[in-house]
Amino acid sequence: AQSVAQPEDQVNVAEGNPLTVKCTYSVSGNPYLFWYVQYPNRGLQFLLKYITGDNLVKGSYGFEAEFNKSQTSFHLKKPSALVSDSALYFCAVREGSGGYNKLIFGAGTRLAVHP
Amino acid sequence: GAVVSQHPSRVICKSGTSVKIECRSLDFQATTMFWYRQFPKKSLMLMATSNEGSKATYEQGVEKDKFLINHASLTLSTLTVTSAHPEDSSFYICSAAPGLGVTGELFFGEGSRLTVL
């Protein structure tokens, strides 16, 4: 069965510093990986995805993520954090075994960017 | 990106009553929609997969008689919480994708916060 782990409940970063939100996954086939962000009392917004190709994926709002097959990781990164980046971040995985398969989410990591 | 609309955004009801939440894909057709439930400070739990014109597929542990799902058209899925109790209070979020396939991202509604008194 597919699963996603986000080992950190919360990440604290000073504004202007680089940030990393960690994600590791487990699937039996090819992984399709996604990052979403959620602001309070709102739905989820899509940030970026890895399907195939270049391991470094660039997404919305200056975020990027690096797919590492050997470490089964897909960490979210941003070179310079903004206070407005403070939100709840979810990593998700879908196993590419054919058909339309459900998206499984990690537990979420709360990012707090301090001025 | 594609737009998914949920209504109502907030609902308060008395214990024992039923509540219906609507999920609409505004600018695309969605053969499949997904309903998630989110507890405070917790991740999203997939409740069921809603399929247009057929019965929903429920995840293990989700009561299908409690959470009725209807997907009557390619742009509308509804979740009805029947005989609601305080433990059903939660944030419910629907999602959909424009077309089938494993590579597409899901688009989410804004969520519906249910409070059962």
Task: Using CA coordinates, name the residue in chain B closest to A35.
Answer: B105
- Confidence band of A99 (pLDDT split at 50, 70, 90): low
Percent of chain A at pLDDT exceeding 70: 94
Residue A22 has pLDDT above 60, yes or no: yes
Percent of chain A at pLDDT exceeding 90: 76
What phi, psi does B15 have (nearest 5°)?
Answer: -60, 135
Q: Which two tokens stand for residue B116?
A: 């059962």
CA distance A3 to A36: 16
Task: List, for residues A42-95, the tens digit of each pLDDT value.
Answer: 889 999 999 888 999 999 999 999 999 999 999 999 999 999 999 999 999 986
The more confident residue out of B92 and B28 is B92
In terms of average pLDDT, the best of A93-102, B30-39, B93-102, B107-116 is B107-116
CB contact under 8 A, A42 and B111: yes
What phi, psi does A86 have (nearest 5°)?
Answer: -60, 120
* Antiparallel, parallel or unpaired: β A10-14 and A109-114: parallel
Asked whether B104 and B31 are in contact (CB, 8 A), the reply is: no
What count of residues does chain B have? 117
Task: Using CA coordinates, name the residue in chain B closest to A104.
Answer: B46
Q: Which two tokens stand for residue B67?
A: 């959470």
A32: nearest CB among B43, B91, B102: B102
Percent of chain B at pLDDT exceeding 90: 67
- Confidence band of B52 (pLDDT split at 50, 70, 90): confident
B102: nearest CB among A36, A43, A94: A94
What phi, psi does A61 have (nearest 5°)?
Answer: 55, 25
CB contact under 8 A, A49 and B102: no
- How is chain A split among helix, strand and coil, in percent rounded to 5? 5, 50, 45
pLDDT, mean of residues B59-81? 94
Contacts of B75 (CB under 8 A, 6+ apart): B24, B25, B26, B29, B30
Residue A98 has pLDDT above 60, yes or no: no
Residue A97 has pLDDT above 70, yes or no: no
- Of the candidates A63, A74, A81, A69, which has an alpha carbon nearest to the alpha carbon of residue A33? A74
pLDDT, mean of residues B90-116? 86
pLDDT, mean of residues B46-54? 88
- Confidence band of A100 (pLDDT split at 50, 70, 90): low
Q: Residues of A numbered 35-94 whose beta carbons fall under 8 angstroms of chain B's beta carbons: which are they?
A: 36, 41-46, 49, 51, 90, 94
Residue A102 has pLDDT above 80, yes or no: no
CB contacts, 8 Å: A44 with chain B: 44, 93, 95, 106, 108
CB contacts, 8 Å: A32 with chain B: 102-103
